[in-house]
Chain A
Amino acid sequence: MVLRVEAHTRVGALDLGVELEVAPGECLALAGPSGAGKTSVLRVAAGLLRPRRGLVEAGLETWLDTERGIDRPPERRRCGYLFQEYALFPHLTAWQNVAYPLREVPRRERRERAVELLGRFGMGELADARPGTLSGGERQRVALARALARRPDVLLLDEPLSALDARTRAVAARELTAVLRDTEVPALLVTHDFAEAAQLGHRVGVIDAGRVVQEGTPSELAAAPRSAFVADFTGAVVLTGTAHAAAAGLTRVDLDGGGSVTSTDRAEGPVAISVYPWEIAIEPAGEARHGSTQNRLAAEVLSVTTVGNRVRLGLAAPQALAAEITLASAEALGLRAGMQVTASWKAAATRLVAR
């Protein structure tokens, strides 16, 4: 089942023009600043916003086709929609919230089914609690269980982590990753945070002022931004690999595709590595190692993009990389596409997040 969404409409002052496609089991993360039209895309998909011109297809079903006059109401589109503030019904308990969509289930079995679903998120014991008494992380789990209860054909997630504090967010991100990995339906996620998009999405679309300005894997976007906006927005470079404990309390990460880096963060198993491009130093290839930087990767310069007084370099290493240096340094090194360089950065600037 593929999800296809096309939406052309005005939302207030915003001119929305988005066309996208999500494969079964894939998560496409739309990332962009607030007011870029991210939530409107989700609302069009769910049928909560009717675009002037648009198309929504889920597999073989057409949910919206303005040209043919098709517009299914939201209740007849099988969407699992996770709302930004979760939108739990305050007068119902956790299990009653989860049971709300279970109308095909006989009344007597609803509680059991709802509690079972809550149990999958470790919330079985809080089945009788009201949303008002739950923490942000607990509310999110109830909302997820409720969104998945009807076995949706499409998952729509609106800023799933933004209502959580920093500590809860790491745990919730891991759980959400697991849900997205296990699901076989297309998932469309929106967030204002590129790092979140990179962590949760298989593919990321950067959206600005109602348009998807660039689409690709997180590292492609960070390494080869097609515009200054994307370069600025993407921020951290994201690499993937497998972490092992190393000597002196450090962690060694074998990068997918070859090479390895060291981090001061502790982790074990599959991880995402994030480094800010401005933490990465560039030197001509073949120079002897000097200084304190632990991580050194040989790379070829792919692109040179000027962003104000800085230069964003797209680098081809085992995985795509991006570095940001001053215009003056770039000119001093005479950097241009095709050059061989060494990219280096400190182990302390290497953040690890479990995948």
Chain B
Amino acid sequence: MRWFPVALAVALAAAITFLTLPVVAIFVDSTPAQLIESLGDPGALDALWLSLRTTATALAIILVVGTPAAYLLATRSFRGKAIVVTLIELPLVLPPAAAGIALLAALGPEGLLGGAVEAAGVELTLATAGVVVALTFVASPFYVRQAMAAFASVDRTLLDASRTLGASEARGFVRVMIPAAMPGLAAGAALALGRALGEFGATLMFAGSFEGITQTVPLAIYARLGTDFEAALALSAVLVAVSAAILLSVKLVQGSEALGGAAR
């Protein structure tokens, strides 16, 4: 037998084991009955509900602002575009703790725009709105990057065709470009959703960890770590299940597209 295929297989086996073992352990360590019982804790349910609300709000903001911005970047060329794209992608590589500090420095009470935020009557630090800001900050680059690639891969003559058929560019954007880029947009939205749902560091630094106000599921898991390992495990299991569901639905959407393409 050749040694190289064997080496490849060994590498894959090692990767699979290492990546799946912790996930499997979450579900093996406790019985489903225990998991459900632990979720009876009102603090846990509050955290779940808060995570869903803040993630949904952040995702809505990301979609509404990110989609047109990504479209502009994908369809126009202008001086300094590479710099703009790099700036947008910066939060991708920013350590979450640094992101939290950065948000405080910008929007915190003593921050760059702290006065303006206060004058507008908005409370961000130690408030639910702050969680949304943190989630939006760390998750939006995932969507914008993917959406840019999706728009760039749509045949530009579709937009030309739309215009010669009497539709303004805005109408073509809504009726042609968004539907044609949909698989890529959906994948980007799922990535951003997953990132927002699991957000920990920036939220903790910027919004704090107050039950029912800023304590999302990842923060609640951390808070329970020292006192109630079972409860931490149960919340983790829920988070894993939701994340897996997101990943699976993206694969299904893309899989059906791929199948549709093969049937041509």
* Residues in chain A within 8 A of chain B (CB atoms): 46-48, 73-81, 83, 85, 87-92, 100-101, 103, 132-133, 146, 149-150, 156
Q: How far, in Å, is B140 (CB) from chain A's closest CB?
A: 26
- Asked if B164 and A103 make an inter-chain contact with CB atoms under 8 angstroms apart, the answer reads no
Which residues of A have CB within 8 Å of B176? 89
Given that A91-B179, A132-B261, A132-B264 are known contacts, is A150 also in contact with B165, CB under 8 Å in the complex?
yes
Q: Select the stretch in B23-31, B155-163, B233-241 that faces chain A.
A: B155-163
Do B264 and A83 touch across chains, with their CB atoms under 8 A apart? no
Q: A85-B157, A132-B261 are in contact. Are A150 and B180 (CB under 8 A)?
A: no
Complexed CA–CA distance, A279 and B161 (Å): 43
Q: How far is the CB of A152 from chain B (nearest CB, A)?
A: 9
Which B residues are in CB contact (< 8 Å) with A76? 166
6 intermolecular pairs with C-beta atoms under 8 Å apart: A75-B168, A76-B166, A89-B158, A100-B175, A103-B166, A132-B260
Contact B182 A91 (CB under 8 A): yes
> Which residues of chain B are within 8 angstroms of A73 by Cβ–Cβ distance?
163, 168
Cα A236 to Cα B155 with chains together (Å): 36
Chain A contacts of B264 at CB under 8 A?
132-133
User: When the two chains form their complex, are residues A48 and B260 in contact, meaning their CB atoms are under 8 A apart?
Assistant: no
Give Cα A73 to B163, complex, Å. Answer: 8
Could you say which residues of chain A place their CB within 8 Å of the CB of B165?
A: 75, 100-101, 146, 149-150
Apart from A83-B157, A85-B155, A92-B179: 9 A-B pairs, beta carbons within 8 A: A74-B160, A75-B164, A75-B165, A75-B167, A79-B164, A81-B161, A89-B161, A101-B167, A150-B166
Report the Cα distance A141→B223, complex, angstroms.
65
Inter-chain contact A87/B179, CB cutoff 8 Å: no
Q: Is B16 an interface residue (CB 8 A)?
A: no
Known contacts: A75-B166, A75-B168, A79-B164. The answer to whether A87 contacts B260 by CB under 8 A is: no
Give the chain A neighbours of B261 by CB distance below 8 A. 132
Q: Let me know if A101 and B166 touch, CB within 8 A.
A: yes
Contact between A100 and B167, CB atoms less than 8 A apart: yes
- Of the candidates B160, B182, B260, B263, the one whose C-beta lies within 8 Å of that of A83 is B160
The list of the 10 closest CB pairs from A to B, nearest first, reads A101-B165, A87-B161, A74-B163, A81-B164, A91-B179, A87-B157, A132-B264, A75-B163, A101-B166, A75-B166
Whether A89 touches B164, Cβ cut-off 8 Å, given contacts A83-B157, A132-B264, A133-B264, is no
Which residues of chain B are within 8 angstroms of A132 by Cβ–Cβ distance? 260-261, 263-264
Q: Which residue of A lies closest to B154 (CB)?
A: A90
In angstroms, Cα B164 to Cα A77, docked, is 7
Complex Cα–Cα for A101 and B180 (A): 18
| B55 CB to nearest chain A CB (Å) | 28
- Determine if B263 and A133 form an interchain contact, defined as CB atoms under 8 angstroms apart: yes
Whole-angstrom distance between the Cβ of A50 and the nearest chain B Cβ: 13
| Contact indicator per residue, chain B 244-264, by CB within 8 Å of chain A (1) or not (0) | 000000000000000011011
Q: Are B160 and A90 in contact (CB under 8 A)?
A: no
Q: Quick check: A74 and B164 within 8 Å, CB to CB?
A: yes
In Å, the complex CA distance between A89 and B159 comes to: 9
B61 to chain A, nearest CB (A): 26
Query: How far, in whole Å, are A79 and B163 apart by their CA atoms in the complex?
Result: 10
A302 CA to B241 CA, complexed, in Å: 85
Query: Which residues in B have their C-beta under 8 angstroms from that of A46?
Result: 160, 164
Q: Complex formed: what's the CA distance from A89 to B261 in Å?
A: 14
The complex places the Cα of A146 from the Cα of B165 at a distance, in Å, of: 8
Of chain B, the residue at the smallest CB distance from A80 is B164
- Nearest CB in chain B to that of A42: its residue: B164
Complexed CA–CA distance, A75 and B171 (Å) = 11
Q: Inside 8 A of B263's CB, which chain A residues have their CB?
A: 132-133
| Shortest CB distance A93–B (Å) | 12
CB distance from B176 to the nearest CB of A (A): 6
Question: Nearest chain-B residue to A89 (Cβ)?
Answer: B176
B157 to chain A, nearest CB (A): 4
Residues of B132-168 at the interface with A, using a CB-CB cut-off of 8 Å, are: 155, 157-158, 160-168
Give Cα A8 to B117, complex, Å: 54
Enumerate chain B residues within 8 angstroms of A78, measured Cβ to Cβ. 166
Q: Which residues of A contact B167 (CB under 8 A)?
A: 75, 100-101, 103
The answer for the CA separation of A85 and B163 in the assembled complex, in Å, is: 16
Docked-complex contact B160 and A87, CB < 8 angstroms:
yes
Write the chain A residue with the least CB distance to B157: A87
Task: Mark contacts of B167-185 with chain A using CB atoms, 8 A cut-off: 1 yes-contact digit, 0 otherwise.
Answer: 1100000011001101000
Contact yes or no, A48 B163, CB < 8 A: yes
Contacts of A101 in B (CB 8 A): 165-167
Most chain B CB atoms below 10 A, which of A78, A90, A101, A149? A90
- Residues in B whose Cβ lies below 8 Å from that of A90: 180
Say yes or no: A83-B180 contact (C-beta < 8 A), given A75-B167, A133-B264. Answer: no
Q: How far is the CB of A5 from chain B (nearest CB, A)?
A: 15
